[in-house]
Chains A and B, each alone.
Chain A
Amino acid sequence: MAKPERKIVLDKCPTGIRGFDEISNGGLPKGRPTLICGGAGCGKTVLAMEFLLRGAIQYKEPGVFVSFEETPKDLSENFASLGYDLDDMTARKLIAIDHIYIERSEIEETGEYDLEGLFIRLAHAIDSIKAKRIVLDTIESLFSGLSNEGILRAELRRLFHWLKDRGITAVITGESGRNGLTRYGLEEYVADCVISLDFRIREQISTRRLRIIKYRGSSHGADEYPFLVEKTGISILPVTSLGLDHTVSNERISSGIPRLDNMLAGKGFYRGSTILVSGTAGTGKTSFAAKFVEVACKRGERCLYLAFEESADQIIRNMHSIGTDLAPWVKKGNLKFHASRPSLYGLEMHLVTIHNLISDFKPRIVIVDPVSNLTAVGTSVEVKSVLTRLFDYLKANHITAFLTDLVHFGGSLERTNEEISSLIDTWVLLRDIELNGERNRGLYILKSRGMAHSNQIREVLLSDRGIELVDVYLGPGGVLTGSARAAQEAKEEAEARDHLGEVNRRMREQDRKRQVLEARIAALRTEFEAESEELRTMTAEERKRRDSVSADQTEMARLRKADRSTDSRKEGKKRAKK
């Protein structure tokens, strides 16, 4: 009926409810009624009330809440738990609450009537605070209070016209019925915007969902969006599936373990990538996460640690064993733990909670420890869907995700239960290597997109000095780890030592030989010199003797007066010279 008066661009009335304005492209249709339908306890009243309260506080649009069920006292008590002081807001004329009580047993219908009284009350309430918004919380109560449906329907039609004429944005709630959206067919009158709330329980876990069934003159998200009624009100997760058009970072961040960084082309992970550390129980997944957190906190970044297995205190205590103290970072505000059991609520709710935590805390790194526990509350298809959305959201915000995944014994190590391997950028696999009656931890990088990563297996040693990666022994006996590796290393070391000893011994021997040789050379030289000396002495004596002989002969010759004395003297001289 309102078609001819529709403007080209529909005015929207922002709700201020987290996520709602995004999926509805700006809010509810301004000046028109909107129907919120759903079963009991699915959050109709909260949604409607929050629309009103946020409108009054954030958008300076006072609102009237017409309650057909709860008394103003009940309402203010209920909303006090969401942090709103209804009495104060009423006093400040931001809102007005009118409780309309109707009880069939107290009313006798005696003929023709109309609901002008209701109109007068609404008009009075609206005028008293100059309201722009109104909520009629289950106007269907009229149907149970009054029996003449013909009159009621005519009056309802008139009511919605009347509200439209006044340009008031109205929210009407309605209980969902068996044949149709509402029990009494309210959707017949409220044709502009219909929102359906749903409260589903599967495997004892409930999930609230919201869907915009129709929205005349506006585009809107058509999916079912999970929502959460939290301490601060309703929050709807607008994330369904983000595109793959996010920008990426070339920045590299350390894993907190220098040798692991070395294995990742020397620089560590990419900022904003999704990192998975998977492994069987007790392979040190949480320790890797803690190291990663610690180094990020040291860089001054914020980390959000989503623990699905251990409490925050327990993680902090346990990480002391590898020399990591996370407590100061928690105190400093760099690290925030959010520990909850996965079975606390449904998967979608986890996603909403995580989404809210992230948008509040604005971390640069998010740890999910372990992601595999989420499968406890959903099928692998659901988990994959939720995780895909989560990772997309994280990636779009350049948040590095660090996940751990518990691989169960008997299953293949190189797949995750959640079928998320294709979503992972860097996958570090921790595995037990069983050998010689002991278990040791081996690490290798299954994949790491966009970097030349090591293909080697490393052994992981957890000690109070932290996490160390050591080379495994690769030899004819295969891969050796743990004490077998240690034994092998000791053996090799001993062999090497032996060899070195032998070399040294030979060298010493050679040295000794050289010394002996030198000694002998010295001795021979001494002997030779001694002989030479002797020879010289002998020569000198010989000469003396010759000289004396010659002198004797000369003397004798002189005495004998021989002729040849000169010749024989000359010959004797020649011989001596020789």
Chain B
Amino acid sequence: MKNTPTGKEKPVKSAPVEEVWILKLYVAGQTPKSIAAFANLKKICDEHLCGKYRIEIIDLLKNPMLAKGDQILAIPTVVRQLPPPVKKLIGDLANTQRVLIGLDIKPAAKVVK
């Protein structure tokens, strides 16, 4: 599954601004929920982070040992690696409001944009 979203839509726009968001999306195979989660995450990031983000997709079926490090139980899970503090979101990210709160993305980002 990794290949489809990664190859096509992993936009690493390393902006000159120091604030780069690194988001890890944990999935287990190509399930509908994972695909939905990726689509939702991408949409929100594009809208609010204006390119200053990077999404890493980790497939636990391929690297099961990585689940331990970030204490992954639920699939899909998004971990906000940067900026600190680490935050965790679970679910398919369908509830945009909750995603914004969970990732601590201020609507101000919109204004900045």
Contact = CB atoms under 8 A, between A and B. Distances in A.
Interface of A: 98, 100-102, 106-118, 120-121, 123-124, 142, 145-146
Nearest to A127: B64
Interface string B15-43: 00000000000101001010011001000
B99 interface: yes
- Counting chain A CB atoms within 10 Å of each CB, the highest count among B31, B68, B86, B94 belongs to B68
A108 B73 contact: no
Contact of B73 (A102, A110, A124): A102
B1 interface: no
B95 A117 contact: no
Contacts of B76: 113
Nearest to A155: B74
Interface of B: 26, 28, 31, 33, 36-37, 40, 60-61, 64-65, 67-68, 71-77, 86-95, 98-99, 101-102
A108 B88 contact: yes
A117 B88 contact: no
A567 B67 CA distance: 181
Contact of A111 (B60, B65, B88, B91): B91
B82 to A, nearest CB: 16
A142 B67 CA distance: 16
Contacts, number: 97
Contacts of B33: 112-114
A112 B92 contact: yes
Contacts of B92: 110-113
11 contacts: A108-B102, A109-B91, A111-B37, A111-B95, A112-B94, A113-B76, A120-B28, A120-B61, A121-B67, A123-B64, A146-B74
A112 B76 CA distance: 9
A112 B91 contact: yes
B75 A113 contact: yes
B53 to A, nearest CB: 17
A109 B89 CA distance: 6
A64 to B, nearest CB: 12
B68 A117 contact: no
Contacts of A145: 73
Contact of B72 (A106, A109, A121): A121
3 A-B pairs closest in CB distance: A108-B102, A111-B91, A111-B94
Nearest to A114: B75
A117 B26 contact: yes
B104 to A, nearest CB: 10
Nearest to A112: B92
A103 B93 CA distance: 19
Contacts of B60: 116-117, 120
Contacts of A106: 86-88
B28 A108 contact: no
Nearest to B60: A120
Given A115-B75, A117-B28, A120-B28, A110 B68 contact: no
A107 B89 CA distance: 5
A124 B28 CA distance: 13
A120 B89 contact: no
A67 B31 CA distance: 28
Contacts of A118: 73-74
Contacts of B26: 117
Contacts of A142: 73
Contact of B99 (A98, A108, A123, A124): A108
Contacts of A114: 33, 74-75
Contacts of B65: 124
Contacts of B77: 113, 117
A102 B61 CA distance: 21
A142 B90 CA distance: 13
A117 B75 contact: yes
B93 A110 contact: yes
Nearest to B98: A110
Contacts of A121: 64, 67-68, 72-73
A239 B92 CA distance: 56
Contacts of A110: 89-95, 98-99, 102
A109 B68 contact: no
Given A107-B89, A116-B28, 18 more contacts: A108-B87, A108-B90, A108-B102, A109-B90, A109-B98, A110-B91, A110-B95, A112-B33, A112-B91, A112-B92, A113-B76, A114-B74, A117-B67, A117-B72, A120-B28, A120-B60, A121-B64, A145-B73
A111 B67 contact: no
